[in-house]
Amino acid sequence: MSDAGRIWRMSQRVRNRQLYGIRLKIMLPILILFLPGMAWGFSDPDIMLPGGHQPSTPMEVLFYASLGVVFGATMCAVLLSFDGVSRDRSSGMLELRLAQPMPRKHQATALILGYWQSIAIPVYGLMVLCLVVVRYRMNDWPSLTEMLVYFVSTGLILLWYTLFALIASTSAKEQGTAIAFGIGVWFFFTFLWALVTTMVAYASGVAVGEANDPSWVALEGALDLLSPNGVYHHLLETQLPTVDRGVASWQVWLGALIWTVFPWWVLHRRMEGLVP
Amino acid sequence: MAEPLLSFRNAEHRHQISSPTFTRPWNKRSGPGVVGLNLDLYAGSVLGLVGPNGAGKTTLLRMMAGILPLQEGEVTARFSSTELKPVGDLRQWVGHMPEQVRWQGNQSVREALEAIGDMRNTPNKRIDGLLDLVGLRNRKDERLDNLSQGMRQRLSIATALLGSPKVLLLDEPFNGLDPVAAEAFTHLVRRLANKGVAVVISSHMVAHLDQLIDRIALLHRGQLLDEGNLNEVESRLNLSNRYQIKGKGNVEVHSLLSDIEHEFLEFNQDDQSWTYVFRGAPKEVLKKLMDSCQVTSWSPIAPNLVELLCATTGLEPEDISLEVGSSAMLPMRTERGGEDE
């Protein structure tokens, strides 16, 4: 079997264990509520959002419904993979795996792909359902490019949180630390990042929360590149012509690349030096 | 003796332990581990790695398994050539059975073995053979959660044998095995050794190893104290040729045996019985005692781990066996010839 074949086989085993495990069964109702549920709500023809805005295109609805990905799917990604390494370490399986002639980087890649697939597959399934819901409610489909960006960017944000959780798991000697680290990172970027943005704006003399103030919009746009959730929204906004936060598409995709490559590299490094 | 299959020279691995200071909270320093190790493994030979808890047995096995890198020293092997050559990655040639693997989950025994087998490119046919070998064929569809401790141990042995290793490392393999399984395991190890596999077994129980090993390596505080054929080591440590005779009644053993050349070691007398421990001339001593009083039993004395360690270190048993935590942290030799903590 080739190296790629071995990585794929190992990732399949990880994926299947998680897909048919009890955790996903517990999380599935949350994902259903957050993904198709939000798509249903935001595609309501009578909906009026704060500020008097009304989503008028399928992509706008998907953009607003992406809050479900940020709040629900990323949390599920963390909860599926927070003990991806630490559980094997405590059970002795890690020592057994590290003693096999498969390079550690390949093992790390298999773990990443396996845990990522275990959350991406149900989320992608529910996203297809979102598209059907939007079509049903608005009698229109998003364009192929919009769908592609929606799926790719969602896949990326799930990958980032999977990577964060696995990195945490390599450091943790027991499950409590791993979950605290994984959920802590999720909580920071999901709930506390707005506070960081506000503090930086205040310190820079920018009027906080003024949606019509170009300097606030530009600052918020730039700071969002430092957060995975912010980059995710930037990616989706590339398909919303009415939104311009002063960040070019190439900068957004570069940000996405860095958020992918850097934690991936960190995890590989950690796996190389891992002691059972 | 034949050429070694695998050879370690001045091998060292010391664990990095946290040592935070006010200015450097992430500070680490070298802690216990294995230092200055010179050890050869031979094809077809079974080496017993013995030492108290915290001696460095598991660390050494992990170094041999390629899990922990050598920080100092070098390792050479004759796996694919006729002469010893430096080898970078041992894992392809070494099968490792960790001390405790808690196999758990909904996977079947066969699936679990296949998962590890994939990492070694082991064909499925070989997996069936291994399940036969370790006596798990009838349990191959059993869920891991339903396995007993002994069966889990057998599964760990099977994983160590995946890929037909040239060196087999077994960390406390007798834990959890019932006497019948332990006996079967002993035969299995001997069979593998006869096929040319170099086997290393770590244990803190010398009694289990007595019938199995060809050579013994004594490890204490991360250092190899002595190594060689069991009889040679016993003889070097002055622990060979010892006997114990037990009998009934009150006997003046010393005066009875005064004309026989032997070394007195110990004598215990209570109301009804006595025990005499000595070295040398067992036939003469036994004959004399049997002629003069009632002898109930006679046996040679095999040294146990504590005796071996006491003999090599010069320490008292309580210093070795009761202070595991501190002994593992005691100063270790450095290359500079001094000691550090």
- Closest residue on chain B to A93 (Cα): B101
Q: Flag if B119 and A97 touch (Cβ within 8 Å).
A: yes
Q: Does the structure's ipTM exceed the value 0.90?
A: no
- Name the 3-class secondary structure at B211: coil
Closest Cα to residue A19, out of A97, A89, A109, A122?
A: A122
Question: In angstroms, what CA-CA distances link A270 with A8, A94, A102, A111?
Answer: 21, 14, 16, 13
pLDDT at A28 over 80: yes
- Name the 3-class secondary structure at A77: helix
List, for residues A219-258, the tens digit of each pLDDT value.
888 888 899 999 999 999 888 877 777 888 899 999 999 9
Higher pLDDT, A30 or B319: A30
Q: Flag if A96 and B156 touch (Cβ within 8 Å).
A: yes
Strand order in the sheet with B46-50: B94-97, B167-171, B198-203, B46-50, B215-220, B223-229
Q: Flag if B96 and A99 touch (Cβ within 8 Å).
A: yes
pLDDT at B329 over 60: no
Q: Flag if A92 and B96 touch (Cβ within 8 Å).
A: no
Give the containing element (helix H, strand E) for A8. helix A3-19
Residue B65 and residue B72: Cα distance in Å, rounded?
16
- A98 in contact with B, Cβ within 8 Å: yes
The count of CB pairs under 8 A between chains A and B is 68
List, for residues A64-88, the tens digit of each pLDDT value.
999 999 999 999 999 999 989 999 9
From B91, B99, B104, residue closest to A99, measured CB to CB: B91
Per-residue pLDDT, B334: 40
Residue B120 and residue B98: Cα distance in Å, rounded?
17
Q: Flag if B67 and A13 touch (Cβ within 8 Å).
A: no
Q: Flag if B118 and A91 touch (Cβ within 8 Å).
A: no
Contacts of A93 in chain B (CB under 8 A): 101-103
Contacts of A100 in chain B (CB under 8 A): 91, 116, 119-120
Q: Characterize A211-247 residue by residue with b for buried, 16 or more Cβ atoms within 10 angstroms of its Cβ, and e for exposed.
A: eeeeebbebbbbbbbebbbbbbbbbbbbbeeeeebeb
Residue A74 and residue A160: Cα distance in Å, rounded?
9
- Closest residue on chain A to B16 (Cα): A275
| Confidence bin at A53 (pLDDT 50/70/90) | confident
List, for residues B256-278, the tens digit of each pLDDT value.
888 888 888 888 888 888 999 98
Burial of B341 (0-12, 13-18, 19+ CB in 10 A): exposed
List, for residues B289-324, the tens digit of each pLDDT value.
888 888 999 888 877 777 887 888 777 777 765 554
* Mean residue pLDDT across chain B: 84
Q: Flag if B119 and A98 touch (Cβ within 8 Å).
A: no
pLDDT at B8 over 90: yes
Q: Flag if A92 and B99 touch (Cβ within 8 Å).
A: yes
Q: Flag if B156 and A102 touch (Cβ within 8 Å).
A: no
User: What is the arithmetic mean of pLDDT over A87-91?
Assistant: 90
Share of chain B above pLDDT 90, in %: 32
pLDDT at B336 over 60: no
- Beta strands at B46-50 and B215-220: parallel, antiparallel or unpaired: parallel
| Confidence bin at A217 (pLDDT 50/70/90) | confident
| Confidence bin at B341 (pLDDT 50/70/90) | very low
| Confidence bin at B327 (pLDDT 50/70/90) | very low
Contacts of A9 in chain B (CB under 8 A): 118
From A92, A107, A275, residue closest to B100, measured CB to CB: A92
User: What is the arithmetic mean of pLDDT over B325-337?
Assistant: 42
Say which DSSP state A272 is in: H
From B89, B92, B116, residue closest to A96, measured CB to CB: B116
- Closest residue on chain A to B158 (Cα): A96
User: What is the arithmetic mean of pLDDT over B144-167?
Assistant: 90
Per-residue pLDDT, B335: 39
Strand order in the sheet with B28-41: B28-41, B6-18, B72-77, B85-86
User: B59 near B13, Cβ under 8 Å?
Assistant: yes
Mutation target to probe the A interface, by most A beta carbons within 10 A, among B118, B149, B200, B202 is B118
pLDDT at A161 over 90: yes
Distance from CA of A98 to the nearest CA of B (A): 6
- A25 in contact with B, Cβ within 8 Å: no
Residue B14 and residue B29: Cα distance in Å, rounded?
9
